[in-house]
A and B are shown apart, each in its own frame.
Chain A
Amino acid sequence: MTFALTPERESHLAEILSRYPNRMAATIPVLHLCQEQNGWVSEEIMEWVAHRLGISAAHVKGVATFYTLFNKEPVGRHQVWVCRTLSCALNGADALLHHCEKRLGVHVGGTTKDGSVTLRTAECLAACGQAPMMQVDRDYHENLTLADVDTILDRLTRS
Chain B
Amino acid sequence: MITLTIDDRPITVAEGTTIWEAARTLAIEIPVLCHDPRLRPVGVCRMCVVDIGARTLVASCVRPCESGMKVVTGSEKVERQRRTLTELLMSDQPEVCPKESTTGDSVLHALARRYEATGASLPRGAGRPRDLSSKVIAVDHQACILCDRCVRGCDEIQGNDVISRSGKGYGTKIAFDLDAPMGASTCVSCGECMAVCPTGALVNKPVSGPIVPRRHLKQVDSVCPYCGVGCGLTYNVDVEQNKIAYVDGRESPVNHERLCVKGRYGFDYAQHPQRLTKPLIRRAEFYPKAALSPEVMGNQERGKGRRKTALVSYDDVMPAFREASWDEALELVASRLLAVKKEHGPGALAGFGSAKCSIEEAYLFQKLVRAAFGTNNVDHCTRLCHASSVAALLETIGSGAVTNTFAGIAESDVALFAGTNISANHPVAASFFKNAAARGTKLIFVDPRRPDIARHAWRYAQIRHGSDVAFYNAMMHVILREGLIDEAYVRDHTTGIEELRALVDRYPPALAAEICGVTAEMIVDIARAYGGAKAAITFWGMGISQHTHGTNNARCLISLCLLTGNSGRPGTGLHPLRGQNNVQGASDAGLIPMMYPDYQRVGDPAIREKFEKAWGLPLDPTPGLTVTEITTGALEGRIKGMYCLGENPFLSDPNVNKVRKALTRLDFLAVQDIFLTETAEFADVILPATSYLEKTGTYTNTDRRVQIGRPALAPPGDARLDWQIVAEIATRMGYPMLYEKVEDIFDEFTATTHEYQGLDYPILGATGRLWPAFDREAKDGEQILFGDAYPTADGRAKLVPCDFEAEKEPTSAEYPFVLNTGRLLEHWHTGTMTRRSYALDAISPGPFVEVHPDDLARLGITAGDLVSVSSRRGRIELPARRSTSVARGSVFIAFHFREAAANVLTLDAIDPIGKIPTFKLCAVNVEKAQA
Contacts and interface: CB of A to CB of B under 8 A. Distances in A.
B178 A43 contact: yes
Contact of A57 (B155, B165, B168, B177): B177
B107 interface: no
Contacts of B455: 54
Interface string B146-169: 000000000100000111111110
B164 A62 contact: yes
A43 B161 CA distance: 17
A46 interface: yes
B166 A61 contact: yes
A101 B162 CA distance: 40
B164 A61 contact: yes
Nearest to A46: B178
A59 B164 contact: yes
Interface in A2-41: none
A124 interface: no
A58 interface: yes
A46 B179 CA distance: 12
Contact of B175 (A47, A55, A61): A61
Contacts of B166: 58, 61-62, 65
A131 B155 CA distance: 46
B176 A58 contact: yes
A56 interface: yes
Contact of A66 (B155, B163, B168, B176): B168
Contacts of B163: 58
Interface in B500-541: none
B186 to A, nearest CB: 8
Interface string B161-202: 111111110000001111100000000000000000000000
A56 B164 contact: yes
Contact of B177 (A55, A61, A68): A61
Interface residues of A, number: 14
Given A66-B167, A66-B168, A61 B161 contact: no
B161 A58 contact: yes
B681 to A, nearest CB: 47
A39 B178 CA distance: 19
**Most chain B CB within a 10 A radius of its CB, from A43, A54, A56:** A56
B647 to A, nearest CB: 41
A61 B163 CA distance: 10
B162 A58 contact: yes
Contacts of A57: 177-178
Interface residues on B, range: 10 to 19
Nearest to B165: A62
B167 A56 contact: no
A55 B161 CA distance: 8
A54 B438 CA distance: 12
Contacts of B177: 56-58, 61
A126 to B, nearest CB: 21
**Most chain A CB within a 10 A radius of its CB, from B155, B166, B167, B455:** B166
A11 B168 CA distance: 32
Chain A interface, DSSP helix/strand/loop, else mixed? helix
Nearest to A64: B166
Contacts of B167: 65-66
B60 to A, nearest CB: 27
A68 B455 CA distance: 30
Contacts of A46: 178
B197 to A, nearest CB: 16
A47 B167 CA distance: 17
Contacts of B168: 65-66, 68
Nearest to B155: A56
A40 to B, nearest CB: 14
A59 B175 CA distance: 9
Contacts of B162: 56, 58
Contacts of B155: 56
Nearest to A61: B178
A34 B636 CA distance: 68
A47 B164 CA distance: 14
A139 B176 CA distance: 37
B172 to A, nearest CB: 8
A105 B402 CA distance: 72
B556 to A, nearest CB: 31
A32 B176 CA distance: 23
Nearest to A55: B161
Nearest to A59: B164
Contacts of B164: 56, 58-59, 61-62
Interface string A51-82: 00011111101100110100000000000000
Interface string B264-285: 0000000000000000000000
Contacts of A65: 166-168, 179
**Most chain A CB within a 10 A radius of its CB, from B163, B175, B178, B179:** B178
A55 B160 CA distance: 11
B866 to A, nearest CB: 28
Nearest to B172: A66
A56 B456 CA distance: 11
A65 B455 CA distance: 25
Contacts of B179: 61, 65
A114 to B, nearest CB: 30
B885 to A, nearest CB: 15
A54 B177 CA distance: 14
Given A65-B166, A66-B167, A66-B168, A59 B161 contact: yes
B178 A62 contact: no
A141 B153 CA distance: 48
A61 B162 CA distance: 11
Contacts of A56: 155, 161-162, 164, 177
Contacts of A43: 178
Nearest to B169: A66
A112 B381 CA distance: 68
Interface string A100-134: 00000000000000000000000000000000000
Contacts of B165: 62, 66
Given A54-B455, A56-B164, A61-B166, 7 more contacts: A57-B178, A58-B162, A58-B177, A59-B164, A61-B178, A65-B179, A66-B165
27 contacts: A47-B178, A54-B455, A55-B161, A56-B162, A56-B164, A57-B177, A57-B178, A58-B161, A58-B162, A58-B163, A58-B164, A58-B166, A58-B176, A58-B178, A59-B161, A61-B164, A61-B166, A61-B175, A61-B177, A61-B178, A61-B179, A62-B164, A62-B165, A62-B166, A62-B175, A65-B166, A66-B165
Interface of B: 155, 161-168, 175-179, 455
Interface of A: 43, 46-47, 54-59, 61-62, 65-66, 68
* Shortest 6 CB-CB contacts between residues of A and residues of B: A56-B161, A58-B164, A62-B164, A62-B165, A65-B166, A59-B164
